[in-house]
């Protein structure tokens, strides 16, 4: 039952550093925790939930297979016969998913789905419609893209609402990257569950860190700002181009950060140390509280640290490699998948600050104040989801 202790410690820490404890809406916190518990129970303990997520997992793998067809056509034998090459594998998946999402928006199919889900989340957790929409959308299209429908309303959003939107982007991942990580060998069932549970988790932690006034919780969902497209083909082309930009950014970050880690490890080798050893030691107590067995605490701790200090790309790639070369228990694999789900890292802070400042330059100082705090909240949200998953595992 160590996971219960982990949940209590995360909530207690978040309450302790709250900006205004008197404004905390405990119904939002309790209903969010209940929703997380319900999702974890449904996904991990019921046959129906297992079948639903098995079906969704197969759907992700089927989408990934479609992306592979484009990859095989573009790269030929380099893609099909050269084994796993990171750049060749992730680029087709991200481009295809990005184009697919753009088409669904153009056909007006994406927003009705998000609107229905956000309405239910707004009523259940008592958060504003904009916060609910952005939190749910971030699990589909990413941390910056999810806020675009709210752009016309940015000037009217409070600091607490902006903070919740930023945390929602930090506690979830886009569908394109979800498929990519499944392609690496990470169980898609755990990836889907972690991303879904990250939605209420981000709202829970954000409303503890930075509570909203009671008037903000009843604000209705705004209509989206749909990107203009001449026709279906134009929408697909625009989505593909955006996907290419994203995939190039991913490749650039992986090259840069893996190389920098190698440089640091080269320096630390003079002291018989590596970053993985240091991070594993510092974060192993956290991984133990999440429920990781003692013998694997350092391993999972190093993955959590890599996700925060570098990015989740590096962490999932490292996890995929570890699965292949050393035995890892199913429990530790599950907890690691949940704990490193989300964009809570220093690079994402820069991405959000750059994007939101460009959209609303007058509030740049506010965004800068929120950045690192949102990253911490997003990381805690992922850990909260890991605690619930471990509680209902097995």
**Beta carbons of 228 and 140 less than 8 angstroms apart:** no
Confidence of residue 204 (pLDDT cuts 50, 70, 90): very high
Q: How far apart are CA 109 and CA 325, in angstroms?
A: 43
Cα–Cα distance, 208 to 23 (Å, whole number): 9
Q: Strand, coil or helix: what is 35?
A: helix
* Euclidean distance between CA atoms 120 and 141, whole angstroms: 20
The pTM (predicted TM-score) of the whole model is: 0.82
Give tens-digit pLDDT for 34-46: 999 999 999 888 8
For residue 223, what pLDDT band results from cuts at 50, 70 and 90?
low
Query: Which residue carries 């303990």 as its tokens?
Result: 45
Amino acid 148: pLDDT: 65
Tell me the C-alpha distance between 334 and 312, whole Å: 15
Helix (H) or strand (E) holding 334: helix 330-339
Q: What pLDDT is recorded for position 387?
A: 95
Distance CA 237, CA 102 (A): 9
> Of 190, 184, 207, 386, which is closest to residue 300 (Cα–Cα)?
386
Instruction: Give the model's pLDDT for residue 332.
Output: 94
- Alpha-carbon span 350 to 68, nearest angstrom: 31
Check residue 218 and give its pLDDT: 58
Cα–Cα nearest to 89, from 191, 186, 181: 181
Q: Are 291 and 2 in contact (CB under 8 A)?
A: yes
Provide the pLDDT confidence category of residue 222 given band limits of 50, 70 and 90: low
Q: Is the pLDDT of residue 214 over 80?
A: no
Over 90: is that where the pLDDT of 29 sits? yes
Q: Rounded CA gap, 223 and 113, in Å?
A: 13
Whether the CB-CB separation of 314 and 260 falls below 8 Å is answered with no
The pLDDT assigned to 221 comes to: 60
Residue 153, pLDDT > 70, answer: no
CA distances from 288 to 5, 10, 66, 294 (A): 11, 13, 39, 7
Q: Express as a percent the part of the chain with pLDDT over 70.
A: 92
Round to whole Å and give the CA distance between 356 and 8.
33
Residue with tokens 């199913």: 330
128: its two tokens? 């504003």
Mean pLDDT of 259-273: 88
Helix/strand/coil (H, E, C) string of 247-297?
Answer: HHHHHHHHHHHHHHHHHHHHHHHHHCCCHHHHHHHHHHHHHHHHCCCHHHH
Mean pLDDT of 200-205: 96
Q: What is the mean pLDDT of residues 86-101?
A: 80
Q: Within 10 Å of residue 259's Cβ, how many Cβ atoms?
A: 10
In this predicted model, which residue has the larger pLDDT, 5 or 123? 5
pLDDT of amino acid 12? 97
Rounded to an integer, what distance in angstroms lies between the CA atom of residue 10 and that of residue 381? Answer: 9
**Look-up of token digits 């509680």:** 391
Residue-wise pLDDT for 40-76, tens only, equals 999 888 889 878 877 877 777 777 778 878 888 887 7
Q: 232: number of CA atoms within 13 Å, CB side?
A: 5
Q: What is the pLDDT of residue 252?
A: 81
Which residue reads 């999402």 in tokens?
Answer: 101
Confidence of residue 219 (pLDDT cuts 50, 70, 90): low
DSSP 227: P
**pLDDT at position 186 over 80:** yes
**pLDDT averaged over every residue in the chain:** 85
For the ranges 4-18, 95-109, 339-353, the one whose mean pLDDT is highest: 4-18
pLDDT class for 151, splitting at 50, 70, 90?
low
Residue range 79-106: mean pLDDT, rounded: 77
Averaged pLDDT, 210-238: 74
Per DSSP, 18 falls in state: -
Q: Does the structure show a pLDDT above 60 at 224?
A: no
Higher pLDDT among residues 148 and 194, named by residue: 194
- Write down the pLDDT at residue 215: 63
Q: What is the pLDDT of residues 279-322, one digit of tens each?
A: 778 888 899 999 999 899 988 998 998 898 888 988 999 999 88
Per-residue pLDDT of 6-28, as tens digits, reads 999 999 999 999 999 999 999 99
Place of tokens 């184009």: 99
State how far the Cα of 92 lies from the Cα of 105, in Å rounded to an integer: 20
Query: Percent of the chain scored above 90 by pLDDT?
Result: 33
pLDDT in tens, 158-178: 889 889 999 999 999 987 788
- Contacts for 262 with CB less than 8 Å, ≥ 6 apart: none
């Amino acid at each position: 039952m160590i996971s219960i202790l982990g949940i209590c410690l995360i909530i207690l820490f978040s309450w302790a550093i709250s900006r205004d404890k008197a404004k905390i809406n405990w119904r939002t916190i309790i209903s969010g925790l209940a929703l997380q518990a319900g999702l974890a129970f449904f996904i991990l303990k019921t046959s129906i939930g297992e079948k639903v997520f098995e079906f969704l997992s197969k759907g992700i793998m089927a989408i990934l297979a479609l992306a592979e067809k484009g990859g095989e056509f573009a790269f030929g034998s380099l893609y099909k016969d050269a084994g796993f090459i990171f750049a060749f594998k992730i680029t087709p998946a991200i481009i295809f998913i990005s184009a697919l999402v753009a088409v669904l928006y153009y056909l007006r199919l994406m927003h009705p789905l998000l609107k229905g889900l956000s309405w239910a989340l707004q009523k259940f957790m008592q958060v504003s419609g904009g916060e609910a929409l952005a939190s749910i959308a971030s699990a589909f299209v990413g941390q910056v893209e999810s806020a675009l429908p709210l752009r016309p309303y940015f000037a009217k959003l409070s600091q607490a609402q902006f903070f919740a939107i930023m945390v929602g982007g930090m506690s979830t991942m886009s569908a394109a990257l979800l498929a990519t990580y499944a392609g690496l060998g990470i169980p898609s069932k755990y990836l889907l569950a972690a991303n879904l549970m990250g939605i209420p988790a981000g709202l829970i932690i954000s409303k503890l860190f930075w509570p909203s006034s009671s008037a903000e919780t009843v604000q209705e969902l705004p209509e989206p700002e749909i990107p203009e497209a001449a026709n279906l083909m134009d929408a697909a082309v625009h989505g593909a181009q955006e996907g290419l930009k994203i995939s190039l950014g991913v490749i650039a970050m992986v090259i840069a950060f893996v190389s920098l880690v190698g440089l640091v490890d080269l320096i630390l080798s003079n002291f018989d140390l590596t970053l993985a050893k240091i991070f594993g030691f510092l974060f192993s107590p956290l991984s133990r509280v999440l429920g990781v067995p003692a013998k694997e605490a350092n391993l999972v701790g190093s993955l959590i640290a890599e996700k925060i200090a570098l990015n989740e790309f590096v962490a999932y790639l490292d996890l995929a490699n570890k699965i292949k070369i050393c035995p890892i228990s199913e429990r530790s694999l599950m907890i690691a998948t949940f704990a490193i789900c989300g964009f809570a890292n220093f690079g994402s802070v820069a991405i959000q600050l750059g994007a939101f400042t460009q959209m609303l330059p007058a509030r740049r100082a506010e965004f800068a104040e929120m950045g690192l705090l949102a990253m911490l909240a997003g990381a805690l949200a992922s850990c909260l989801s890991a605690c619930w998953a471990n509680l209902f595992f097995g």
